[in-house]
Every structure is written in structure tokens, then in C-alpha cells.
Amino acid sequence: MTLTDMNILHVVGARPNFMKIAPIMAAMAQQPAIRKQILVHTGQHYDENMSRVFFEDLQLPQPDVYLGVGSGSHAQQTARVMMAFEPVLLEHNPDWVVVVGDVNSTLACALVAAKLGIRVAHVEAGLRSFDWTMPEEINRVLTDRLSDMLFTTEPSGTENLRREGIPKEKIHFVGNVMIDTLVRLLPVAKERWPHLQAALGLERYVLVTLHRPANVDDRCQLREILDGLGDIAGHIPVIFPLHPRTRERMHAWQYVSTPSGLLLLEPLGYLDFLALMQRAEMIITDSGGIQEEATYLQVPCLTVRPNTERPITLEMGTNRLVEGERGALVAAARSVLEGHGRGQAQLPVYWEGQAAPRIVSALVGGTDAPPVEAVSR
């Protein structure tokens, strides 16, 4: 069945959501069956450099609705999103609510929609770290259970959902919308490199991001990691744009004097960060999305976590898990910098820039999205 005159409401809230929604909205704008798109920004992230710069870099339309929920405990933030989102849904009554990723805004909006009987499409469904101490794992499992259509980025996502009893008709393996954005904007980001290089005065460097509570909310853990980064910075400059959560902790614990090779920056916009990623000798991160972007860019990546919900980046990509312990971090970095980590990465299936059109086809009842069984094994 093909639907026409559809109203779609998209939700974004936090930094990693913006690059996922942008290609979906662009693909829907080309689809005549979709009459109206509404963009809701919950305001989970609100700083200029955590939110607004992404709208510019990604050429995202301004949000139609801004909920302005801001920061808080998990319960406060989730509850504030739910309370503010419900009247918006009642007013617009869309055919579908599209949520992406695994942040608190994702779960909060999926829950409100499901209770109002409005269908939920979850993009980046099925990823599992099997680590229930991660807030994102709770968000992922619950959002998937509430969703009517689930779009997976890699075969493990499809397998996890099937194992959890989600009917296969609901699951569509479409690939990775974040890679759609990367493919589109990589040429623009490359143009920024000469300017960045001149500003930083660097040719070779390691790029770092860290913000997971498990790494930065524990005083000793953060100290271990910073000491490891300090050791690495003794050999090669380390560029470290600080997430506000990480900056806050470093200030609170007075971890402010850092070795000279460790360059602490404000969070960067999408294009500047992409420009730095593609030229980095190595990336050290605890982000989910950066593991995937590094895989596409074939840049060696050390992920400071005991697990990953994106196993394809370990199987096919340049990613390696590393313990957040000074010696382990330094040893892994040395091994990569000496050339042992530069395996030839392969690109996962459908990480080629066309995931969003597949999502749109599936949503409007087209046949372009391949059946799950054909591609998941």
C-alpha cells in the first residue's frame, strides 16, 4: 500500500541527532507523497556549539517547534521532554514520528507518541551494547519496543531485534544515515582543512573526544585517561575538543593543568570536526557515531569502552576497544602509531550515502527497502 499526503514529525534533541535527521528531511522533501514535515527540537542540547552550528553546517531547516527542556537528571530531562512534547503531538497529529539514535529525547518522544497511538519510526534501531549500565542502552531497547518501523544500520541490529521478538515486517535494513551526511559534506569539510591547519599549526595529530559518564563522571577514571592522553601527547600532538560534561568535570576536580602537547578546544561544528577526523593519524573516542565515521574514513580508532553496540566497526572497520587505563591506552596508541592498527578497512553494506532514500521508500510504502532476510545474513 502506498500512502499519500503524509505528515511527518521529526525529533532532534542532542548533537548526534542532527546529522541523522538532515538527510532524511532532504530525501522526504523530494517525495511527493509527503505533504508536510515538522521539525521538533527538544533543546536537550542548547549551546551554540552543541546545537546551532550544526543547523548551519548541515543546512537543516530551523525547528518548527523548540521545547527548550535543557539539562537535568535523566528523570527530569525525560519527563520535561514528554510533558512538552505531548501538546505538540496533539496539535500536529502526524502520521509518523521519526526518532533517531538513543538519547533521552529519542525515548521520551517515542513513548509519548506510542501512548497517543501515533506510529513511531526509529532510525538506527537494534544496536545493543548489552550493557544495562549505559543510559543509551535503556533508551535503545525501550525505543525499539515502542516503534512500528525499525531501520537498522548493520546486520547485528537486525539480528538483535529478531532475537527480541520484533516481527520481521517491521524491520528494514537500510544502512547508515550518518554516513549519508558524511558522504555529502566531506568535500566541503576538506576545503576547511587549509584554514584549520594554519590555525592549529599542526600536520600530524591524534584527535580525541570523551563524554561518556563511565569515563568522565568518575574522578579516578578521568584522571587515568587524561594521564594516558598526556603521555601520548609527549609523542604526537593531541587535539581534544571538550564536551561540556567533560569540561565541567575537569573544572570541578581541578584537572586544569594539562601537558603542552594536549590541545583543549571548545566543541567543534560538524564540518571542522570532520575536516580534523579525515586528516587524523588516529582517533581516540567513546562516542558511538565517531566509531562509524572513522570506519568510513579508514582512520584508526581506539574506543575507550569495554564494549560497542556497533560491532561491524570492529569486524570490518578500523575500530579497536581499549581499556580506560593509562598503560593500556598508551600501549594501544603506540601500536597504532607504529602502523600496526592500519588494517585495510572494508565499508559495511549500505554505508554509501543512500540510506535516507531507502527509509523514505519504506515509509511511504514503496518497495526499495530490501527485505530483511535478503541482507541480514
Spell out, one character per residue from 222 to 251, where the chain touches ligand UD1: x when CB under 6 A holds, - when not: ---------------------xxx--x---
Which member of 50, 179, 207, 322 binds ligand UD1 (CB under 6 A)? 50
Segment interacting with ligand UD1, rule: CB under 6 A, options 13-21, 31-39, 90-98, 251-259:
13-21
CA triplet 9, 13, 16: central angle to 5 degrees?
110
211 binds ligand UD1 (CB under 6 A): yes
45 binds ligand UD1 (CB under 6 A): yes
Segment interacting with ligand UD1, rule: CB under 6 A, options 8-16, 27-35, 156-164, 303-311:
8-16
Closer to ligand UD1 by CB, 107 or 372: give it. Answer: 107
Dihedral (Cα; 363, 365, 366, 372), 10-degree rounding? 70
- Asked about 41 being catalytic, the answer comes back as no
Q: Which residue's C-alpha cell is 576545503?
A: 191
Segment interacting with ligand UD1, rule: CB under 6 A, options 14-22, 33-41, 117-125, 233-241:
14-22
Q: Please give the Cα distance from 272 to 335 (Å, whole number).
A: 27
Neighbours of 145 (CB within 10 A): 15
Q: Please give the Cα distance from 213 to 289 (Å, whole number).
A: 16
DSSP 79-116: HHHHHHHHHHHHHH--SEEEEESSSHHHHHHHHHHHHT
| Residue type at 140 in one-letter notation | R
44 binds ligand UD1 (CB under 6 A): yes
Q: How far is the CB of 45 from ligand UD1 (least distance, A)?
A: 4
Which member of 6, 8, 9, 15 binds ligand UD1 (CB under 6 A)? 15
Q: How far is the CB of 307 from ligand UD1 (least distance, A)?
A: 15
Closer to ligand UD1 by CB, 54 or 363: give it. Answer: 54
From 122, 211, 243, 251, active-site residue = 211
Closer to ligand UD1 by CB, 287 or 361: give it. Answer: 287
Residues of span 246-265 touching ligand UD1 by CB under 6 A: 248
Residues of span 66-105 touching ligand UD1 by CB under 6 A: 71, 102-104
266 binds ligand UD1 (CB under 6 A): no
Q: How far is the CB of 107 from ligand UD1 (least distance, A)?
A: 8
286 binds ligand UD1 (CB under 6 A): no
CA triplet 357, 359, 364: central angle to 5 degrees?
95
Q: Please give the Cα distance from 87 to 73 (Å, whole number).
A: 23
Q: Packing angle between helix 135-146 and helix 104-115, nearest 10 degrees?
A: 30
Q: Which residue's C-alpha cell is 609523542?
A: 235
DSSP annotation of 51 reads: I
Q: For the chain, first and last CA: distance in Å?
A: 27
Neighbours of 162 (CB within 10 A): 16
209 binds ligand UD1 (CB under 6 A): no
* Cα–Cα separations (whole angstroms), residue 152 to 44, 48, 162, 298, 354: 24, 31, 12, 22, 13
- How many residues bind ligand UD1, per CB under 6 A? 19
Active-site positions read: 211
Applying CB under 6 A, the residues found at the interface with ligand UD1 are: 14-16, 44-47, 50, 71, 102-104, 135-136, 211, 243-245, 248
